[in-house]
């Protein structure tokens, strides 16, 4: 998974479609933001059909991560600074 | 390769999908050939397996030019450090649709999507962003997809 491998992540969904990931985030997280594909989170440029949803739950960030051969993973990563940065984008 | 115009007439990015479906490598080399003969400079972006299949098939680089990692290509375009005139995205699964939509959002390139595989018609229905769709039921035999490409002539667009 490239640089994602160095993160302490939890996989919430695997081999999912982009729609399943978007629906999961909007159904399970009260707090989320919609961004455009290519949006940079950590060192990753998000892949997806716009809008791409990112879920926020306290210091946890939930986002889709797509690879050509493995579909889309929905990852959950704890990062206080990145969660705070994303919240500022909601305003 | 002979017969190419000496002055480049634009650039094209070929975004490869998972090489699980055999026609991808064959069609990529065919498209590269047609683009080069039309004076368009093709650049390939894929994961390691997809790129290696092409590099091994064309060891003297008669067809292939620049080949780059797919994540790097997305980063360069997203960061506005590079862009192309045309973009061709190879699609046979849901991830391919996601990559195509991403290219449509981050790049100013004219977007062509090549949809193939057993369930190509289901994938075509998922496309709701501006692009030219080139689609055919092609898994092992590249001819249906080649014919679909020849009808569109994207190298001349």
What is the least distance, in Å, from the CA of B68 to any CA of chain A?
15
- Chain A neighbors of B131, CB-CB under 8 A: none
Element (H, E) at A38: none
Query: Has residue B6 been placed in a domain?
Result: no
Residue of B53, B41, B64 lying closest to B17 (CA atoms): B53
Query: Has residue B116 been placed in a domain?
Result: yes
Nearest by CB to residue B98, choosing from A2, A66, A69, is A66
Query: Has residue A28 been placed in a domain?
Result: yes
- Structural domain of B58: 11-156
pLDDT confidence of residue A1 = 42
CA distance A35 to A64: 12
Q: Is A27 on the interface with B (CB under 8 A)?
A: no
Provide the token pair at A91. 């305003």
Average pLDDT of chain B to the nearest whole number:
95
| CB-side neighbour CA atoms (13 Å) of B136 | 19
Query: Has residue B1 been placed in a domain?
Result: no
| CB-side neighbour CA atoms (13 Å) of A76 | 14
| CATH number, domain with residue B128 | 3.40.50.10160
Element (H, E) at A87: helix A80-89
Q: Total domain count for chain A?
A: 1
Residue A91 has pLDDT above 80, yes or no: no
pLDDT confidence of residue A4 = 77
Q: Is B49 on the interface with A (CB under 8 A)?
A: yes
B20-45 average pLDDT score: 97
ipTM of the complex: 0.92
Query: Has residue A54 been placed in a domain?
Result: yes
A38-59 average pLDDT score: 95
Residue of A78, A81, A71, A29 lying closest to A53 (CA atoms): A29
Say how many CB pairs under 8 Å bridge A and B: 70
Q: Find all residues with CB under 8 Å of B153, minimum gap 6, and list them.
A: none
- Structural domain of A28: 16-68
CA distance B131 to B112: 6
Q: Whole-model pTM?
A: 0.93
Is B89:B100 a contact under the CB 8 Å cutoff?
Answer: yes
- Chain A neighbors of B101, CB-CB under 8 A: 18, 37, 48-50
Q: Total domain count for chain B?
A: 1
Q: Which DSSP category does A45 fall into?
A: E
pLDDT confidence of residue B22 = 96
């Amino acid at each position: 998974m490239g640089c994602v491998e160095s993160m302490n992540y939890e996989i919430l969904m695997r081999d999912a479609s982009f729609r399943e990931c978007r629906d999961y985030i909007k159904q399970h997280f009260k707090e989320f933001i919609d961004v455009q594909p290519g949006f940079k989170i950590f060192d990753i440029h998000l892949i997806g059909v716009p809008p791409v949803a990112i879920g926020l739950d306290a210091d946890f960030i939930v986002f889709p991560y797509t690879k050509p051969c493995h579909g889309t993973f929905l990852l959950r990563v704890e990062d206080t600074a990145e969660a705070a940065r994303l919240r500022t984008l909601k305003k | 390769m002979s017969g190419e115009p000496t002055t480049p007439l634009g650039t094209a990015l070929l975004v490869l999908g998972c090489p699980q479906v055999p026609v991808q490598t064959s069609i990529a080399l065919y498209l590269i050939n047609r683009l080069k003969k039309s004076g368009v400079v093709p650049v390939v972006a894929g994961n390691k397996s997809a790129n290696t299949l092409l590099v091994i098939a064309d060891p003297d680089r008669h067809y292939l030019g620049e080949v780059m990692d797919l994540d790097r290509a997305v980063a360069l375009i997203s960061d506005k450090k590079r862009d192309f005139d045309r973009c061709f995205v190879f699609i046979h699964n849901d991830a391919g649709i996601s990559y195509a939509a991403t290219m449509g959002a981050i790049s100013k390139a004219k977007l062509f999507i090549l949809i193939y595989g057993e369930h190509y018609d289901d994938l075509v229905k998922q496309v709701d962003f501006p692009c030219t769709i080139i689609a055919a039921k092609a898994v092992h035999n590249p001819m249906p997809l080649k014919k679909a490409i020849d009808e569109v002539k994207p190298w001349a667009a």
